[in-house]
A and B are shown apart, each in its own frame.
Chain A
Amino acid sequence: MNILVCISKTPDTTAKIAFVEGNTKFDENGVQWIINPYDEWYSLVRAIELKEKNPNVIIHLITVGGADTEPIIRKALALGGDEAIRVNNTSNDSMVVAQEIAAVAKGGAYDMILTGKETIDYNSASIGSMLCALLDTTFIPNAISLDVNGNTAIVKREIEGGEETCETNIPFILSCQKGMAEQRIPNMRGIMAARTKPLKVLEATIHNETTSIQQFDIPPAKSGVKLVDPSNMDELVRLLKEEAKVI
């Protein structure tokens, strides 16, 4: 069984968010890069768990980005990916990224494609749904559990106000979130093995961007917290009613 896990590079959750070049580019100075947590903790680790149950599983990793994404993809290999492809395209347009992944997936006969539910930088939650249209394959978003029985997958997913359990047959695409698996730390053996695992670089083939980022802005700082005396909750209620007008 071939699983394709999509890996994105994102700034660490505690990274300082700032912009340069007239607020048109993210300031990468001093930023620590990580595997997008949804891609790592949920989709990649679940794929590794499936491989631990079934040795016939092969975990293929794909990332779309420049050479600076290689430490990230090596870490994913160290965690337990078998082989990796990097498509050398630095576009920020989800449509371009999804088309690059689809081009690889079309030639790969993957039984399932796993993505995180969104990236923590652009928060678009788009790649899984775009792959669904590009590959004409079933897509189940916000998956919180996945079990595979022969050709059938049993998936639990979050819906608003609850959970839904469903079944589908391979091939399919899932976007994964909390519940799917628990975070792991790569061990020394994994880190050593990752150095020699295959990492193939493909040249970019998609160049037509459908969107372009014009500018970034940092939201204005809060004007400062207004402290209310703990013995005067009537005043807090008045502020929420008359000033904030939220109750």
Chain B
Amino acid sequence: MVLIYIDQDEQEIKKASFEAISYGAALAKQLGTHAEGILLGTVKESVEALGKYGVSIVHQVTNSGLNNFDASVHATVVTEAAKKLGATVIVFAHNINGKAIAPAVAVKLNAGLVAGACALPKTDAGFVVTKTVFSGKAFASIKIETPIKVISVNQNSFGVIVGEGNATLENLDLPVPASKIKITSIDKIKGEVPLTEASLVVSGGRGLKGPENWGILLDLAKALGASTACSRPVSDADWRPHHEHVGQTGIQIAPNLYIAIGISGAIQHLAGVNRSKTIVVINKDPEAPFFKAADYGVIGDAFEVVPALTAAILKSKAGA
């Protein structure tokens, strides 16, 4: 059986879990078995509805202490669930929480781990999973040598597959160790889609010349329904908040569309965004290295191009 970890935050199931379930369900089909989910804590929405992504049963450990994330506690409970339910493959999203517990679960189950898988395993000769390495500059095919396998799936690499059906909810009674972490405050940016979950991202660099010029970028993001990001020099200069910094040392993202405005495309920046499906680069310098990594390029003045693009998007939306 393939067991998928369903990640939740503030009692809402994370979008990344839908992709992990889709991956786990496709893998289960490939292996001739079925997919089940494990959910820790309580959520406000319907758990049964997760059936449409491909799980037949969702096991829930309804201990409200589990609503606060503690890697050690969560890894212990998931491990016990995997043992009790007889899971042979455990699938996580490669998001912050998934990264924090999948390796611990692998240790506890004596399982080989591939962290950051970007495709379904090849199972004709062994169990070989492809993952991105060198910050997206290469792929490695990794064979898991152990009977039990743990995989975390890179976000936006497999996609969410929506089918039909409802999952059966089953309560799972497992001992929950006491957490040794006391959470004292949570500070969230309200009303924004977290960058790692965004499917459309508009990002600005030094070419925008100053924080007072961000209005054109924000207008474009609003017209698209996109999240906003920035390059490292921009966050270092405090033009934009640090949590918007994408790149090697910032956040790594893989949206469907990444629009880079006034960003030259240094290798460290590319390392954070090169898994994006489509990259649009707007830059007045035709020699900007980013054009080599782009799908579409506009050589022109951002202060003219960006408002024109916003107007074109609004026009297209009004027409549709």
Residues on A facing B (Cβ under 8 Å): 11, 13-14, 17, 19, 37-38, 41, 93-95, 98, 118, 120-130, 132-134, 136-142, 154, 158-169, 177-179, 209-219, 222, 225-231, 233-234, 236-241, 244, 246-247
Q: Are B295 and A225 in contact (CB under 8 A)?
A: yes
Q: Given the complex, which residues of B lie within 8 Å of A169, measured CB to CB?
A: 180
Could you tell me if A132 and B104 are in contact, using CB atoms closer than 8 angstroms? Answer: yes
- Which residues of chain B have C-beta atoms less than 8 A from A121's C-beta? 133-134
Chain A residue nearest to B183 in the complex (CB): A166
Cβ B196 vs Cβ A230 within 8 A: no
A225 & B9 in contact (Cβ 8 Å cutoff): no
6 closest residue pairs by CB, A with B = A230-B300, A210-B112, A162-B188, A161-B194, A129-B103, A133-B107
A41's closest neighbor in chain B, by CB?
A: B249
Interface pair A129/B102, CB less than 8 Å apart? yes
Q: A226-B297, A228-B298 are in contact. Are A212 and B143 (CB under 8 A)?
A: yes
A-B contact pairs, 10 of them (CB 8 A): A13-B248, A94-B103, A95-B107, A129-B100, A210-B144, A210-B145, A213-B141, A213-B142, A217-B141, A227-B298
**A236-B135 CB under 8 A given contacts A129-B71, A214-B141, A225-B291:** no
Chain B residues, Cβ within 8 Å of A236:
280, 296, 298, 309, 312
Contact between chains at B108 and A133 (CB < 8 Å): yes
Report Cα–Cα, A139/B108, bound state, in Å. Answer: 15
B52, CB-defined interface residue at 8 Å: no
Q: A134: nearest residue on chain B (CB-CB)?
A: B107
Asked if A216 meets B297 with Cβ closer than 8 Å, knowing A13-B248, A162-B188, the reply is no
Which residues does chain B contribute within 8 Å of A239, judged by CB atoms?
Answer: 296
The answer to whether B295 touches A222, judged by C-beta atoms less than 8 angstroms apart, is yes
Cβ A126 vs Cβ B96 within 8 A: no
| Complex Cα–Cα for A41 and B112 (A) | 30
B44 at the interface (CB under 8 A from A): no
Which B residues from 66 to 85 make CB contacts under 8 A with A? 69-72, 75
CB <8 Å contact, B72 and A247 = no
Q: Which residues of B are found within 8 Å of A94, using beta-carbon distances?
A: 103, 113, 115
Decide if B212 is an interface residue (CB 8 Å cutoff): no
B108 CB to closest chain A CB (Å) equals 5
Task: Provide the bound-state CA to CA distance between A40 and B20, in Å.
Answer: 32
B 138-154 to A, binary, CB cutoff 8 A, 1 in contact else 0: 11111111100000000
- The answer to whether A228 and B296 have CB atoms under 8 Å apart is yes
Interface-central residue, B71, B189, B291, by most chain A CB under 10 Å: B71
- Chain A residues lying within 8 Å of B186, measured Cβ to Cβ, are 159, 162-165
Task: Give the chain B neighbours of A227 by CB distance below 8 A.
Answer: 296-299
CB of B267 within 8 A of chain A?
Answer: yes
Contacts A209-B145, A218-B138, A230-B298 given; indicate if A132 touches B257 (C-beta within 8 A): no
Q: With both chains docked as a complex, state the minimum distance between the C-beta of A174 and any C-beta of chain B, in angstroms.
A: 11
Collect the chain A residues with CB atoms within 8 Å of residue B278's CB. 240, 244, 246
A239 to B143, CA, bound (A): 39
- Tell me, in angstroms, the Cα distance from A217 to B114 when the chains sit together: 16
* Of the residues A98, A127, A179, A214, contact of B128 by C-beta under 8 Å: A214
Q: Are B297 and A228 in contact (CB under 8 A)?
A: yes
B311 partner residues in chain A, CB cutoff 8 A: 233
Look across to chain A and name the residue whose beta carbon is closest to the beta carbon of B259. Answer: A240
Q: Say yes or no for B224: interface residue by CB 8 A criterion.
A: yes
A13 touches B312 (CB 8 A): no
Shortest Cβ gap from B177 to chain A (Å): 10
Chain A residue nearest to B301 (CB atoms) is: A230
Of B138, B268, B315, the contact of A234 (CB 8 Å cutoff)? B315
C-alpha spacing A88/B182, complex, angstroms? 38
Q: Which of B108, B278, B296, B297 has the most CB of A within 10 A?
A: B296
Complex interface: chain B residues within 8 A of A209 (CB): 145
Please encode chain B, from 168 to 189, with 1 for each CB lying within 8 Å of some chain A CB and 0 for all others.
0000000000001111111111
- Cα A166 to Cα B185 with chains together (Å): 7
Is B14 part of the contact surface with A, judged by Cβ < 8 Å?
Answer: yes
A138 touches B9 (CB 8 A): no
Contact between A141 and B96, CB atoms less than 8 A apart: yes
Given contacts A210-B145, A211-B143, contact A247 B313 (CB under 8 A): yes
Name B277's closest neighbour in chain A (CB-CB): A246
Q: B133 near A233 (CB under 8 angstroms)?
A: no
Query: Is B292 at the interface (CB under 8 A from chain A)?
Result: yes
Complex: how many Å from CA A34 to CA B291? 28
Across the interface, do A138 and B104 meet the contact criterion of CB distance under 8 Å?
no
- Complex: how many Å from CA A160 to CA B188? 9
| Shortest distance between the CB of A186 and any CB in chain B (Å) | 20
Assembled-state Cα–Cα distance A229/B257 (Å): 19
Q: How far is the CB of A240 from chain B (nearest CB, A)?
A: 7
Q: Is the CB of A124 within 8 A of B242?
A: no
Say whether A178 contacts B245, CB under 8 Å: yes
List chain B residues, Cβ under 8 A from A118: 99
12 further A-B pairs in the complex, CB-CB below 8 A; given A123-B131, A133-B108, A139-B104: A95-B106, A120-B134, A122-B133, A129-B103, A160-B95, A160-B96, A214-B128, A214-B141, A230-B299, A230-B305, A233-B311, A244-B296
